[in-house]
Amino acid sequence: MTSTASFLGYRRPDARVGIRNHVLVVPTVICSAVVAERIAASIAPVGAALPHLAGCGQLGPDLALTHETLAAYCRHPNVGAVIVVALGCEQVVAQRLADEARRAGKDAHIVAIQSEGGTLRATAKGIDIARELAASVSRIDRSWCPASSLILSVKCGGSDYTSGLASNPAVGRVADRLVSLGGSVVLGEIAEIMGAEHLLADRASRPEAAAQLLRVVNRVEAEAIALGLDIRGTQPSPGNIRGGLTTIEEKSLGATHKAGERTRLEDVVGYAAPITRRGLTVMDTPGLDVESVTGMVGGGAQAVLFTTGLGTPTGNPIAPVIKITGNARTARSMADNIDVDVSGIMMEVESLDAAADRLLEELIGVCSGRPTAAERLGHREFAIHRRNPTI
C-alpha cells in the first residue's frame, strides 16, 4: 500500500466516504422487525434491515444506547437512504432517527404500522418507497477516495493458537500501514484486552487515553465480581481452549496484536460512539462477536477485518466483514466463509509482511465493491448491547 493508495467509494454530503450504498430499513422496535425485513428483502441485495430485540420496556442508559446505535446506523456512510419502520407506541422515536439520517444528507422516510392500518398495508407502502429509493441510490457513482477516509474495525472470534501467532499480527500490520496513511482503526472487546491492557496504555499519545482505557477494563472486571462471577468463566471460551489457548492473558496478548505494533492509542470511546480521532481507538464493547461488530460499525467503521482460527460466519448488515484465518485446516473445512488464508505464516512459507500485503489488497478490493464471503452468504447479524434488563 503506497502513499497514494485509494479505492472507489461513495462520497457523502457530510464529507464521509462509504464503501457500500445500502437502503437501510430500521425497525424502531422488535414489533416492527418483520415488516422491516420484508421491505428490505424486496430490494435485495441493496436493502439492509436491522432486526433487533429492543426499543420498548427499556430504562435510562439502556434506552439511550439503543437509540444512539440505531441513529449511528442511520448516519453511516455505507448507507445511501433510510426507511424507519415504526409500530407507533414504542419508546424509540421514529422521527428522531429519520432526522439523524437527514442531517447526514440522506433521504429518509417513516412507515408506521398502526397509522397505515396493519402489517400488509405498511409493508406495501414500505416496498413502494424502497423501490424508489433503490433506484435513486443506484444513480450515485463511485469515485476515487483516499485511504485516509477509512475507519477499519479489527476483530477476532473463534480464536485458536494460530490467531495470536499469524492472523492477528498480519491484521496489526495492516492497521499500522492504514494509520500511516492517515486512516483510523478501532479495536473492541474489553474482556479480551484484560491482562494486556498495559501494553496498549503504554502506547497512548495522551495520559487521558491511557487512564480511560484502564478505567474501562477495571469497570468490566468489577461488574463481573459484583455478580459474584469470575470473568474467566467466559474468557477464554470453550472453543478457545479447544483451539489451544489456556489463559485470558494468553488470549489477550494475541488479540491486542490486531492493534498493530507502532500505532498510538489516541482515544477510548463508548459503545457505538463516533470515532473522531485518526489512529487507534479502543471502543467499550463486550466480547460477543455480533454485539462488538455492531458497536464498532456504529462508531463509523466502513469495513471489518475479522480473524478466526476455528471459523465463524459472522457478518453485518451494512459493513463488509473480511474473514482471515491462520489455520490451514479451517481454511479448507470452512472455505465458504474465509476470504484470506494466511496459514503460510505458520508453515513458514510466507512472511508476515507478505501476508499483510495480500490482506491490504483484499481490503482495498472490498472497499471498491468486491463482495466478501459473509456478504455472498447473506450473513447480516446485528445485535445491540444491552446495559440493563427489560422492565
DSSP characters over 292-338: HHHHHHHTT-SEEEEE-SS------SSS-EEEEE--HHHHHHTGGG-
The confidence score (pLDDT) of residue 62 equals 93
pLDDT, mean over the chain: 93
* Mean pLDDT along residues 133-153: 98
pLDDT at residue 2 in the model: 43
pTM: 0.94
Res. 5 pLDDT band, cuts 50 70 90? confident
Query: Residue 346 is placed in which grid cell?
Result: 505458520
pLDDT of residue 383: 97
DSSP characters over 246-295: --HHHHHHHHGGGG-SSPPEEEEE-TT----SSEEEEE---S-HHHHHHH
Average of pLDDT values for 294-318?
A: 97
Whether pLDDT at 239 is above 80: no
- Kindly tell me if the per-residue pLDDT of 41 is higher than 50: yes
Q: For residues 105 and 171, what is the distance between their CA atoms, to the nearest angstrom?
A: 33
pLDDT, residue 376, reads 98
User: Hunting for cell 474495525 — which residue is that?
Assistant: 153
The CA distances from residue 335 to 63, 90, 161, 163, 211, in Å, are: 39, 42, 19, 17, 42
Band (3; pLDDT cuts 50, 70, 90)? very low
What is the mean predicted confidence (pLDDT) over 41-52? 97
Q: Give the model confidence (pLDDT) of 113-130 as tens digits.
A: 999 999 999 999 999 999
C-alpha cell read off for 284: 467499550
- DSSP secondary structure string, 50-72? ---S-SSS--HHHHHHHHHHHHH
- 147-153 mean pLDDT: 98
pLDDT higher than threshold 80 for residue 313: yes
Q: Which burial class, exposed, middle or buried, applies to 369 when counting CB atoms under 10 A from its CB (0-12, 13-18, 19+)?
A: middle
| 83-107 mean pLDDT | 96
pLDDT in the model for residue 227: 79
CA angle (79 as vertex; 78, 83 as ends), nearest 5: 160
* Percentage above 90 pLDDT, the chain: 84
Give the lowest-confidence range in 241-250, 268-277, 358-367: 241-250
pLDDT score of 228: 81
Tens of pLDDT, residues 151-171: 999 999 998 899 999 999 999
CA–CA separation, 169 and 352 (whole Å): 7
pLDDT tens digits for range 247-302: 666 667 878 999 999 999 999 999 999 999 999 999 999 989 999 999 999 999 99
Residue 378 φ/ψ region, left for φ over 0, alpha for ψ in the -120 to 50 degree band, beta for the rest: left
Average pLDDT, stretch 352-372?
97
What is the H or E stretch that residue 136 is in? Answer: helix 119-137
Q: Is the dihedral of CA 158, 159, 162, 163 positive or negative?
A: positive
Output the pLDDT for position 388. Answer: 80
Strand, helix or coil for residue 382: coil
The residues that bridge with 233 in the sheet, in sequence order, are none
Poorest-confidence range of 26-40, 224-238, 320-334? 224-238
Per-residue pLDDT at 235: 57
**pLDDT > 70? residue 243:** no
Ramachandran angles phi, psi of 142, nearest 5°: -75, 150
* Cα–Cα distance list, 330 to 142, 188, 222, 243, 333 (Å): 35, 24, 36, 11, 5
Alpha-carbon separation of residue 319 from 315, 326, 343 (angstroms): 8, 23, 25
Burial (CB count within 10 angstroms: exposed 0-12, middle 13-18, buried 19+), residue 67: buried
Instruction: Give 237's pLDDT tier (boundaries 50, 70, 90).
Output: low
CA distance 244 to 256: 17
Write down the pLDDT at residue 247. Answer: 65
Specify the pLDDT at position 236.
Answer: 62
pLDDT-based confidence at residue 1 (cuts at 50, 70, 90):
very low
* pLDDT class of 208 with cuts at 50, 70, 90: very high
Confidence bin at 389 (pLDDT 50/70/90):
confident
Gyration radius from the chain CA atoms: 20
Distance CA 388, CA 175 (A): 34
State the pLDDT at residue 248. 65
